[in-house]
Amino acid sequence: MTSLVGRGIFCAALLLAVSGSDALAGPDTPPSQAATASTPIAAAMSPNDFDGSDSERINQAIAAAAAAGTPVVIPKLNRTKDAVRDFWLLDSAILVQSGTTLVLENCHIKLSDRCRDNFIRSGNCGLGITDIAPMTDIHLMGVGSVLLEGADHPRATGDAAKTLGERTYGKDAGVAGESQTGDWRNIGILLAFVERFSIENLRIKDSHCWAISLERCAFGKIRDIDFASSGAKLIDGVSQSILNQDGLDLRQGCHDIAIENITGYTGDDLVAFTCIMHPDRPAGSMESTMASARNNRGDGLDDIRHVTLRNVRGYCAGGHHIVRFLNASGLKIHDIILDGLIDTSGSGKRCRAALKIGDSNPKWGGVTPLGDTYRIFVSNLMSRAEHSILIAGSLSESAISNVIKYDAPGDPITYESGPENVRRVGIVNVRSMEGPAE
């Protein structure tokens, strides 16, 4: 097992990595930073110090770390009573708590064929939990090469609108007593009502639905996330469809979040900001792809706002969208910056849009009123998608600049919902390589 001295050295290095120059507090350091910089960090907890299944051991380490105020480190080597493995197999979700710093160190975490649950979930939400208490200070950090991988034979895939065995794979299809649709348990990493959080340096492969979903989370950062899901998986020699494999989703109420360095490919939208009403789906329901309620609390609380998304380099292997902004039913998206999007699909399947804003389909609420999607600033986008920017809803008080469409016919900006649904949008240096600059 890792020695306490070794863990102490690791945690000291971790503090420097997380805090940077703040860890070397000087005379002008604000009091809160000085306290952090001068406080020694005790040895980290390891699941190797506990007994039970891999899920149980990790959750015991998290509970012990919460009581002691220390980080949890999941190392590469899983030392059980019977053997040493280089992977961790989850039968149920890792449940993080307020104050959890979970460090994934060069490890491979995989869902077992028994698991119908998330990789990681904030412990305040789950089946039957209708009143979700807020959590704070949750940090998920990959160190080195970290892989989170779906099951070999997933029990369920897809979102709550998909029936298992019809369009999307699920070993639970036709099994009595088991839900026959997808739900929030198919999400890889799920945080709800969490403030002051971070998710960094992870690779997620063959997710069962959305790889990461945040509900009503704020004041956080997400960076250096790589996705590898194609919308299908070879299972027992047969290619099986797995739907709704988004990469990163922000849902109702997410705000003040910085996202950067998103790479790879997904079966569905690589990054999506979506707030869609469904008031008959309460929190904790297995009939929803959200663990919290899909309602509108009013006063702008459930708007998606104040988010920066920078340096997206990837594509949708399913041919959908690389980035999607979608709001409906009075919920708004505003004060968003998208800076830097490179379509890396090469000569593969062309995406429908590099960026899609809104949707005219009544299924998604139809075209939003002018003023519901506003102050969206898009810059530095290169794409060979069918539409570089597809405005299918409304857009106002916004700016679009430095867009290049190549290897595809048509204009860089498509006004699917009509120019009457666009108001005061500045457009500069938008060019199709098959035609003149606009």
Residue ranges per structural domain of the chain: 1-43
pLDDT of residue 434: 73
Q: Does the pLDDT at position 35 exceed 50?
A: no
Question: What's the CA gap between 247 and 269, in Å, rounded?
Answer: 7
In contact, 359 and 393? CB cutoff 8 Å: yes
Check whether 24 has a pLDDT greater than 80.
Answer: no
Per residue in 66-119, pLDDT tens? Answer: 999 999 999 999 999 889 999 999 999 999 999 999 999 999 999 999 999 999
Summarize the confidence of residues 279-300 as an average pLDDT. 94
Question: What phi, psi does 31 have (nearest 5°)?
Answer: -55, -40
The predicted structure's pLDDT at residue 43: 80
Structure tokens at 75: 């190392």
Q: Which two tokens stand for residue 262?
A: 């998103």
Asked whether the predicted pLDDT for residue 432 surpasses 80, the reply is yes
- Distance between CA atoms of 375 and 258, rounded to whole angstroms? 16
- The answer to whether the beta carbons of residues 208 and 233 sit under 8 Å apart is no
pLDDT > 90: what percent of the chain? 86
Q: Of how many residues is the chain composed?
A: 438
3-class state of residue 35 by DSSP: helix
144 pLDDT more than 90: yes
For tokens 């409906």, the residue is 328
**Is pLDDT above 90 for 184?**
yes
Average pLDDT (283-301) is: 95
Question: What's the mean pLDDT in 27-49?
Answer: 53
Minimal CA–CA distance to 368: which of 264, 437, 276?
276
**Cα separation, 158 vs 243, whole angstroms:** 5
Mean pLDDT of 297-312: 98
The pLDDT value given to residue 14: 54
Q: Which of 12-26, 47-61, 342-356 has the lowest mean pLDDT?
A: 12-26
- Give the pLDDT of residue 198: 98
Compute the average pLDDT of residues 12-27: 39
Q: Looking at the predicted structure, is the pLDDT value of residue 42 above 70? A: no
Q: Compute the distance between CA of residue 123 and CA of residue 139 in angstroms, rounded to an integer.
A: 14
Q: How far apart are CA 363 and CA 359, in angstroms?
A: 9
DSSP secondary structure code for residue 82 in this structure: S
The pLDDT score that the predictor gives to residue 381 is 98
> Is pLDDT of 17 > 50?
no
